[in-house]
Amino acid sequence: MLVLKSKRCWILHRCRLFSVVGFMLWGFLLPQAQANQEGADRFRILIVSSYHREYLWSQSTNEGVMAAMLRYGFLEDEQQVRQFTEQDAVASKRAILQKTWMDTKRKRSTSDIAEVTVKIMQQIETFKPDLVMLGDDNAANYIGNQLLDTEIPVVFWGINGLPLKYGLIDSMARPGHNITGVWQAGYYREGLELLSKLVPEARTFAILACDSVTARANIKQLEGLYRSGNSPLDLVDVVSTNDFEEFKRRAKQLESQVDAFFVLNHDTMKDARGNHLDMLEVGRWYLENIRKPEASHEDQFVREGMLLTANDSGYNQGYTAFEMAFDILEQGLSPHLMRTKTPAHGPLMVNRNRARALGISLSEHDYLIDEFVDTSAALEQ
């Protein structure tokens, strides 16, 4: 009996011990389980940008995405917007967000792009996003084709020209796969029309651009506009080069031959030593040395210091892209049935500093202009 009693006490002691340990483990694991459950309830979204944080276009598209996330409750306040913009990561009650940069304006070689593509695909494997957003052509092409026909829905923005060129969609109206998004129609005619009204004597123009994926697509659309007979000005010549010395020489040569320029992207130029030149450095030379009016296609160039644009708005691109992402995540829409979109152009913008420098009076044209810009980022470096 004594042995049985001792054994019973030992069993009771072990039961109490297991109860205490179990209670402690439950107290530790419950918050972890709750946290994991909360994380599971939130959407995981990865944003991949083709470019880099300082690029003005990337800043505009980010503003659009952030505004849409605030509107649809995926971010709660401006503090979270700032945190994500500065740190590329934030967690709200409805979403866990990450952002990564390809930096293909400054690192353009095949090996550079291959390296960053592998790195981002590893990040996707680890992060396991519910949706991926791809900003601009290189992200859409290189990351998009890695994700094509996977289970991850993808929304792109900022593709110059028709997105069919990358093989991501079957048609604009019915993409047919797990990818859809927003593309840039390019409001070149509207920009040239505004230039014609501000400078009625202008009859001819030339295109100035770097030689990049983005610029080449824009050049094709401008050339197509002229060939179709819908250009308000006659196209005389095209400069497409990444050699800054050649760019300067050709621009000065054409200055005496045309009435105006259409300045496209100039962000992949290199100096005589092969070093990458920031867009604003190229822009500063242009603004200080060329005395002809110019149109551009995006607000970033007018903020840089160029005369005017019918803005193919980066803000609108980012905002519309997240609206489509919301429809996929919250409304259950399928990307393969969601037609691609192109937003209406943003405001007609004029840089007053450039107008003043060129002696162009704006007082009689106020009614034409939606937004005046009084900063010139290229000249303020």
Q: Is-contact 58 49, C-beta < 8 A?
A: yes
Question: Domain boundaries in the chain?
Answer: 43-185+314-337, 188-311+347-379
Is it true that domain 43-185+314-337 has CATH number 3.40.50.2300? Answer: yes
Please give the average per-residue pLDDT across 240-266, as a whole number: 98
Q: Compute the half-sphere exposure of residue 224: CA atoms within 13 Å on the CB side of its CA.
A: 11
The predicted-structure confidence for 24-66, as pLDDT tens digits, reads as follows 434 444 443 343 444 568 999 999 999 999 999 999 999 999 9
**pLDDT: is 186 or 148 the higher one?**
148
Residue 60 identity (one-letter amino acid):
S
Q: Do domains 43-185+314-337 and 188-311+347-379 have the same CATH topology?
A: yes
Residue 119 identity (one-letter amino acid):
K
Average per-residue pLDDT for the chain: 91
Per-residue pLDDT, 14: 46
Please give the average per-residue pLDDT across 361-373, as a whole number: 94
**Phi and psi angles of residue 81, each rounded to the nearest 5 degrees, phi first:** -60, -50
Looking at residue 49, the DSSP 8-state letter turns out to be E
**pLDDT: is 40 or 268 the higher one?**
268
Per-residue pLDDT, 243: 98
Per-residue pLDDT, 185: 85
Per-residue pLDDT, 18: 39
Helix locations, 148-212, DSSP H: 188-198
Per-residue pLDDT, 20: 39
Task: Inform me whether the pLDDT recorded for 4 exceeds 50.
Answer: no
Looking at residue 94, the DSSP 8-state letter turns out to be S
- pTM for the model stands at 0.78
Architecture of domain 188-311+347-379: 3-Layer(aba) Sandwich (3.40)
Per-residue pLDDT, 30: 40
Lowest mean pLDDT among 4-18, 161-175, 201-215, 224-238: 4-18
How many other C-beta atoms are found inside a 10 Å radius of the C-beta of residue 342? 19
The predicted-structure confidence for 149-179, as pLDDT tens digits, reads as follows 999 999 999 998 889 999 999 999 999 999 9
